Amino acid sequence: MIEIRELTKRYGRVTAVDGLSFTAEAGRVTGLVGPEGAGKSTTLRLLLGLGTSTAGSATIDGREFGDRPPGPREVGVLLETHGVYCRHVGNTARECLTGLARQYGLPRGRVDEVLEDVGLADAEQRRVGTFSLGMRQRLGVAFALLPDPLVLVLDEPLNGLDHRGLAWAQGLFRRLAGEGRTVLVTGQPPVELADVADELVVVADGRRVQGQRAALLLGRGGRRRVRVRTPDVEVLTALLTDEGASVVRDGDQALTVMGLSARQVGDIAFLNVVPVYELVPEVPDR
């Protein structure tokens, strides 16, 4: 379990985290959500012993790590969202994971398991320097999972994932939580995490926010999704993104839109003379 209690971090006159409190329980996926600069990454770094708090505490299973980060067997970590988790980008995904498994003293079979878990088994011989952002995210999650930790702390792992990738992440994170692990995941609104997390913790300006302001930060109802089909997918994607929506392409002419209602999507398309052949609000299964 992760416990954040009145956590505060100041850099001179700037307060990056301001009295933040929340709990991420074992067996659940907890989403830490907020706009860029909200204090999410700072919170994770303090939790992982990569910085010293000004006040308050951040513990994992009752332990504060201070200036000694936890080992990979204790906590699986994904922090660099755009990073490639391999010393040489000319190496393949399998080579990267095999080298790390050897360093950790893990059996080679564990590499096979993790490649399957993150959906990279078919791409294991590709050089990681050729990976898309979504594939790099999967590889980063693989590195976090490799030592089989009971706690996972993942900073914006959904960035760069398409519709299929989001479905994969949802299934993986829920399965890991179902095994009794603690899973803490960050994201930015409009928020795909709404369909992944058991609980959302919304932060802004370093503080936890709730009620109407939290709903606004989540895109006026973070769980809403709209499926739209149009021949002008790129034009409509740009228009919807400008309005703050999160848009995932799902086929040649299909989009999944998060953060706007079906009426809002329809109005935007109509006002910009974009033809729409299908417009369906989707309700998550949860």
- Domain 225-282 CATH (choose: 3.40.50.620, 3.30.70.100, 3.30.470.20, 3.60.15.10): 3.30.70.100
pLDDT (0 to 100) of residue 260: 78
Q: How confident is the model at residue 284 (pLDDT cuts 50, 70, 90)?
A: very low
Q: How many CB atoms lie within 10 A of CB 55?
A: 13
**pLDDT score recorded for residue 162:** 74
pLDDT of residue 222: 47
- pLDDT digits over 31-56, tens only? 999 888 899 999 999 999 999 999 99
pLDDT band of 194, cuts 50, 70, 90 = confident
Residue 160, pLDDT > 90, answer no
Distance CA 40, CA 38 (A): 6
- Binning pLDDT at 50, 70 and 90, where does residue 190 land? low
CATH 3.40.50.300 spans which residues of the chain?
2-217
> Could you give the CA distance from residue 31 to residue 14 in angstroms, rounded to a whole number?
25
Q: Indicate whether 211 pLDDT > 90.
A: no
Query: In the chain, which segments carry CATH 3.30.70.100?
Result: 225-282
Please write the tens of the pLDDT for every residue from 70-118. Answer: 888 899 999 864 445 676 778 899 999 999 999 999 998 999 999 999 9
Three-point CA angle 277, 225, 250, nearest 5°: 55
**If pLDDT is split at 50, 70 and 90, which confidence band does 285 have?**
very low
pLDDT band (50, 70, 90) for residue 164? confident
- Tens of pLDDT, residue by residue over 215-271, are 666 764 445 678 899 999 999 999 988 887 778 887 788 998 877 778 889 989 998
Domain 2-217 sits in CATH at 3.40.50.300
**DSSP states along 46-112:** HHTTSS--SEEEEEETTB--TTSPPPTTTEEEE--TT--SSS-TTSBHHHHHHHHHHHHT--THHHH
Strands 254-258 and 225-229: what pairing?
antiparallel
pLDDT for the residue 85 = 60
Cβ contacts of residue 37 below 8 Å, gap of 6+? none
Q: What is the pLDDT, as a whole number, of residue 278?
A: 93
